[in-house]
Amino acid sequence: MVRRRDVPKARRMVGWFDPQVLAQSAWLVAVSNVFGRHSDSRLIEALATQRQGEFDYGPSSEDFWLDFVCDTGDGWDSTYAVAHHLAAPTLDVVHAGGEQETTRRGRVLVFGGDEVYPYPSRLEYESRTERPYRKAFAGYTDLPDIFAVPGNHDWYDSLVAFSRTFCRPERGFAGCKTHQTRSYFALRLPGDWWLIAVDLQLGSELDEPQARYFQDIAKLLTERSKLIICVPEPRWILEVAYPKHASYTEDAAIAFLENEVFGRRARVFLTGDRHFYKRHENAEGTQKITSGGGGAFLHPTHAPQTHQLRDGFVQRAVFPDEATSRRLAWRNWLFPFLNPYYMILPAFVYAQSAWLASEHLQPDDLTDIGTAFVSTVGAAIRYPLDGMWLLGIIAAFVFFTDTHVRWWRIIGGVSHALAQLCAAFVVGWCAYRFTTETLGMRYASPTQLLLSGAITFPLGGVVGGFMMGAYLFVSVHVFGRHSNEAFSSLRIADYKQWLRLRIDGDGALSIYCIGIDRVPRRWRRTQRGGAPTYVSDDPKASPPRLLDFVRVR
Ligand SMILES: [Fe+2]
């Protein structure tokens, strides 16, 4: 039996609340938001590389298969579990009616965005994404062609590592061939279907070379051509979750593509970004599919609620179901244990707050907890450094609050900050009472201050961690907010899925959503065709199963 530690360079799920990851994420998001939008490397990329045409996979007299996976490249167990089943030449599924069907590995594998976490680099792409897929494909022949469209996580280094990984055909990916030289592409598929993969950078418009590329592609379409459009994020969900957010109020790029470039509506939209499966459908049978289960931590499906979208789209399928999602949210009460490194942050904030307050408080100010509280508030008002410290903490919590309605953000952030500061006061007060009353130390003596700090620091870490967990639980459970933070903190590797598309001889498109409820935690080394690979050695792991099936004409 081979355990996780024996799997070479097996990566664990990203700890999104580890201070190092938090700091780096905040920095990269800020830098890419400030500079990324102004230094558009797609322009450089488009000008610097050779001309890219369409990629031709049609017509075909046989069934054509294509796999679509998003949000890969997190922990080994989840990423490899999907890659392992996706790489197998055939996979049997059972339909809702009991009918068994053999699906086939795609001739093409499309990575639909967020290929790596937490931020892109050559090393992270290699160890979190390419290595699992290389091991999964090891020993197989007739490997799929790989295409990839970048998500926001791929953009955090201005697409440098993404371009090197997916846009250099001479290099290949995980032993498979790559063809694209830009971050967007068009695939001509059998049955007059076209897969149009769009790069919207960090939520911006189409750049000019990309618009021209798709205008050239549009000239190749016939009147009967049908579109599958891959986009980096599900705006149809985000515009419901954040109705006041300017970025989501209109999808100008897609409207431009449909109305002005291709002159028709897409039959299917595919995306990831949110790490669950949801399929929405309108009366005409247009499908909007969010399929972000390729490896990254699970997002909740119950919050925000997306049963009805704009323009008559209704939710037809979801994985995992909302009851499961609601149940998993309770794990936030274990926040400090799931995110042990995070506790360093509240530990520092609580200890520093107590230290600053103690500088200006005399024993007369600390006769009882009520007097101490009033004195502490008075000190924060009188002394600029104390006041600035408190305002800084409040500002940080307001910034952290997940809403695009300004007054809600202020109310939520200030309430959370005040709750944390009150808890810091209580922890500091307990440390003071213990050192002075129980141990009889002289207040404000170096040893009393040191011991008090030594108590406040770990206690503050645990209490602050619990309060963050409680805040996230209430936010997602009651208000449908912080769905990202409330579940990234849980680092759930299970409930993974990907899409398998089949175009049959009639030109009908069938979409299979194949999922795994529980991914293996243990793997066994084995050989396939003389190449080393891994298979599950975890009896608790679930086999893949068909979660959803829809036919589009
Ligand atoms: Fe994602």
How many whole angstroms from 274 Cα to the centroid of ligand 1?
Answer: 6
Task: Summarize the confidence of residues 166-176 as an average pLDDT.
Answer: 92
Q: What is the pLDDT of residue 246?
A: 59
How many whole angstroms from 80 Cα to the centroid of ligand 1?
Answer: 17
**Rg, the chain, Cα only:** 26
How many whole angstroms from 75 Cα to the centroid of ligand 1?
Answer: 13
How many whole angstroms from 12 Cα to the centroid of ligand 1?
Answer: 16
List Cβ neighbours of 433 (8 Å cut-off, separation of 6 or more): none
How many whole angstroms from 203 Cα to the centroid of ligand 1?
Answer: 14
Q: Of residues 481 and 116, which shows the higher confidence score? A: 116
Task: Summarize the confidence of residues 127-142 as an average pLDDT.
Answer: 94
Range list of β-strands (E), 21-178: 55-56, 64-69, 90-94, 100-104, 108-111, 145-148, 177-178
Provide the mean pLDDT of the chain: 90
pTM of the model: 0.91
How many whole angstroms from 223 Cα to the centroid of ligand 1?
Answer: 35
How many whole angstroms from 151 Cα to the centroid of ligand 1?
Answer: 7
How many whole angstroms from 352 Cα to the centroid of ligand 1?
Answer: 35
CA distance 64 to 228: 15
How many whole angstroms from 498 Cα to the centroid of ligand 1?
Answer: 14
Q: Of residues 402 and 504, which shows the higher confidence score? A: 504
Tokens of 402: 């997940």
Q: What is the pLDDT of residue 2?
A: 47
Q: Of residues 40 and 280, which shows the higher confidence score? A: 280
How many whole angstroms from 69 Cα to the centroid of ligand 1?
Answer: 11
CA distance 103 to 15: 35
Q: What is the pLDDT of residue 462?
A: 95
Nearest CA among 318, 315, 291 for reference residue 498 = 291
How many whole angstroms from 276 Cα to the centroid of ligand 1?
Answer: 10
Which pLDDT band holds residue 8 (cuts at 50, 70, 90)?
A: low
How many whole angstroms from 296 Cα to the centroid of ligand 1?
Answer: 7
Task: Summarize the confidence of residues 14-22 as an average pLDDT.
Answer: 89
Percent of the chain with pLDDT over 90: 68
CA distance 80 to 307: 31
How many whole angstroms from 202 Cα to the centroid of ligand 1?
Answer: 13
* Biggest CA pair distance of the chain: 90
Q: What is the pLDDT of residue 358?
A: 85
Which pLDDT band holds residue 146 (cuts at 50, 70, 90)?
A: very high
The SS3 assignment for 383 reads coil
The SS3 assignment for 7 reads coil
How many whole angstroms from 491 Cα to the centroid of ligand 1?
Answer: 13
List Cβ neighbours of 45 (8 Å cut-off, separation of 6 or more): 159, 163, 167, 181, 182, 183
* pLDDT tens digits for range 242-266: 776 656 656 788 989 999 999 999 9
Rounded to the nearest 10 degrees, the angle between the axes of helix 406-433 and helix 384-400 is 130
How many whole angstroms from 71 Cα to the centroid of ligand 1?
Answer: 5
Peptide bond into 120 cis (omega under 30): no
How many whole angstroms from 114 Cα to the centroid of ligand 1?
Answer: 5
CA distance 430 to 411: 28
How many of the other CB atoms lie within 10 Å of CB of 327? 12
Contact criterion met (CB below 8 Å) for 460 and 346: yes
How many of the other CB atoms lie within 10 Å of CB of 309? 19
How many whole angstroms from 112 Cα to the centroid of ligand 1?
Answer: 10
Q: What is the pLDDT of residue 327?
A: 96
CA distance 440 to 423: 24
How many whole angstroms from 191 Cα to the centroid of ligand 1?
Answer: 31
How many whole angstroms from 272 Cα to the centroid of ligand 1?
Answer: 7
How many whole angstroms from 170 Cα to the centroid of ligand 1?
Answer: 28
Nearest CA among 496, 498, 476 for reference residue 485 = 476
How many of the other CB atoms lie within 10 Å of CB of 478? 9
Q: What is the pLDDT of residue 412?
A: 87
Q: What is the pLDDT of residue 40?
A: 57
CA distance 94 to 104: 14
Task: Summarize the confidence of residues 156-184 as an average pLDDT.
Answer: 91
Backbone angles phi, psi at 523, to 5 degrees: -130, 150
Q: Is the pLDDT of residue 87 over 90?
A: yes
CA distance 291 to 285: 18
Percent of the chain with pLDDT over 70: 93
Q: Which of 45-49, 307-311, 336-340 has the lowest mean pLDDT?
A: 45-49
How many whole angstroms from 124 Cα to the centroid of ligand 1?
Answer: 15
Which pLDDT band holds residue 4 (cuts at 50, 70, 90)?
A: low
Q: Is the pLDDT of residue 24 over 70?
A: yes
Q: What is the pLDDT of residue 192?
A: 94
How many whole angstroms from 353 Cα to the centroid of ligand 1?
Answer: 36
How many whole angstroms from 251 Cα to the centroid of ligand 1?
Answer: 19
How many of the other CB atoms lie within 10 Å of CB of 104? 16
Which pLDDT band holds residue 138 (cuts at 50, 70, 90)?
A: very high
List Cβ neighbours of 509 (8 Å cut-off, separation of 6 or more): 191, 193, 226, 228, 267, 268, 501, 502, 503, 551, 552, 553
How many whole angstroms from 550 Cα to the centroid of ligand 1?
Answer: 24
Which pLDDT band holds residue 505 (cuts at 50, 70, 90)?
A: confident
Tell me, what DSSP letter sits at residue 2?
B
Contact criterion met (CB below 8 Å) for 338 and 489: yes
How many whole angstroms from 18 Cα to the centroid of ligand 1?
Answer: 18
Q: What is the DSSP track for 122-133? A: HHHIIIIIIHHH
How many whole angstroms from 479 Cα to the centroid of ligand 1?
Answer: 22
Q: Is the pLDDT of residue 6 over 70?
A: no
How many whole angstroms from 219 Cα to the centroid of ligand 1?
Answer: 33
User: Any alpha helices (H) in 109-228, and if so which ranges?
Assistant: 122-124, 131-137, 152-155, 160-166, 208-218
How many whole angstroms from 118 Cα to the centroid of ligand 1?
Answer: 9
User: Any alpha helices (H) in 367-445, and if so which ranges?
Assistant: 369-382, 384-400, 406-433
Which pLDDT band holds residue 39 (cuts at 50, 70, 90)?
A: low
How many whole angstroms from 461 Cα to the centroid of ligand 1?
Answer: 29
Q: Which of 81-95, 129-143, 188-202, 395-409 has the lowest mean pLDDT?
A: 395-409
How many whole angstroms from 15 Cα to the centroid of ligand 1?
Answer: 14
The kind and range of the H/E element at 221 are none
Pairing relationship of beta strands 185-189 and 193-197 according to DSSP bridges: antiparallel
Q: How far apart are the first and last CA of the chain?
A: 47
Q: What is the pLDDT of residue 420?
A: 94
Question: What is the residue type of 202?
Answer: L
Which pLDDT band holds residue 31 (cuts at 50, 70, 90)?
A: confident
* pLDDT tens digits for range 433-480: 999 989 999 988 999 999 999 999 999 999 999 999 999 999 898 888
Q: Is the pLDDT of residue 212 over 60?
A: yes
